[in-house]
Chain A
Amino acid sequence: MKKVIVHSERCVGCMQCMAACAITHSKTRDLFSAVLETPLPKPRIHVGVGLFNEGFPNRCRHCDPAPCQLACLPGAILRDLEFDTVLIDPDKCINCASCAMACPFGVLRYHEHCFAPPGKVVAVKCDNCIERQMQGLIPACVEVCKVHALTFEEPAEALKRKTDEVARSVSAGVSQSDLTVGFTLLNTHKRKQIELGRD
Chain B
Amino acid sequence: MEHVIIGNGIAGISAAEMIRRLDPAGAITLIGDETFQPYCRPMISMVLDGSIPHDRLPIRSADFYEQFKIKAVLGNRVSAIDIASKTVSLENEQTFPFDRLLIASGADPRPINADNLHLQNIFFMRTQQHVRGMLDALSNTRRALVLGGGLVGFKAAYGLLRRGLKVTMLISSGYPLSMQVDAKAGEMIQDELTSRGLQVQVEAHVVGFDGNERVERAYLSDGTEISCDIVVIGKGALPAHSFVPRDSIKVDLGIIVDRHQQTTTENIYAAGDVAELVDISRKCRWVNAIWPEAVSQGRIAGMNMAGRKVAYKGSLSRNVMRIFGLDVMTAGIVNPAPNADYEIMTATDRRRRTYRKLVFLHDRLIGMTLVNCVEQGGILVALLQSETAVTIPKAKMLAPDFNYRQLIR
Contacts and interface: CB of A to CB of B under 8 A. Distances in A.
User: Are A and B co-members of a single complex?
Assistant: yes
Interface of A: 8, 46, 48-51, 54, 56, 58, 67, 70-71, 73-75, 92, 94-106, 108-110
Contact of B318 (A51, A95, A101): A101
Contacts of B197: none
A71 B375 contact: no
A95 B404 CA distance: 22
A58 B318 CA distance: 24
A106 B322 contact: no
A100 B373 CA distance: 11
A98 B40 CA distance: 13
B40 A106 contact: no
A110 B405 contact: no
B346 to A, nearest CB: 20
Interface centre among A46, A48, A67, A100 (most CB of B within 10 A): A100
A96 B321 CA distance: 7
Contact of B404 (A56, A74, A92): A56
B109 interface: no
B329 A101 contact: yes
A74 B10 CA distance: 12
Interface in B64-98: none
A106 B403 contact: yes
A73 B392 contact: no
Contacts of B60: 75
A100 B386 CA distance: 17
Contact of A48 (B52, B374, B392, B404): B404
Contacts of A102: 292, 378, 381
Given A95-B322, A104-B379, A73 B403 contact: no
Given A94-B51, A95-B322, A101-B329, A70 B296 contact: yes
Interface centre among A46, A71, A95 (most CB of B within 10 A): A71
B40 A73 contact: yes
A97 B322 contact: yes
Nearest to A108: B375
B127 to A, nearest CB: 16
Max chain B Cβ within 10 angstroms of own Cβ: one of A56, A67, A74: A74
Contacts of B249: none
B320 interface: yes
Interface residues of B, number: 38
A1 B408 CA distance: 27
B59 interface: yes
A109 B327 CA distance: 13
* Dominant secondary structure at the A interface: loop
B2 to A, nearest CB: 27
Nearest to A106: B376
Given A73-B40, A75-B60, 5 more contacts: A51-B392, A96-B321, A101-B378, A106-B379, A106-B404
B376 A94 contact: no
B401 interface: yes
A48 B319 CA distance: 25
B226 interface: no
Contacts of A46: 403
Contacts of B141: none
Contacts of A99: 378
Nearest to B381: A101
Interface in B337-392: 374-379, 381-382, 392
A100 B405 contact: no
B404 A105 contact: yes
B405 A105 contact: no
Given A101-B320, A102-B292, A48 B403 contact: yes
A37 B11 CA distance: 43
A48 B379 CA distance: 13
A109 B46 CA distance: 21
A103 B382 CA distance: 8
Nearest to A123: B375
Contacts of A103: 378-379
Contacts of B379: 103-106
A74 B378 CA distance: 19
B56 interface: yes
B402 to A, nearest CB: 9
A96 B320 contact: yes
B207 to A, nearest CB: 36
Contacts of B392: 51
A182 B333 CA distance: 45
18 contacts: A8-B405, A48-B406, A58-B404, A70-B296, A70-B299, A94-B43, A96-B320, A97-B320, A97-B329, A98-B292, A100-B320, A101-B329, A101-B381, A102-B378, A105-B378, A106-B403, A108-B375, A108-B378
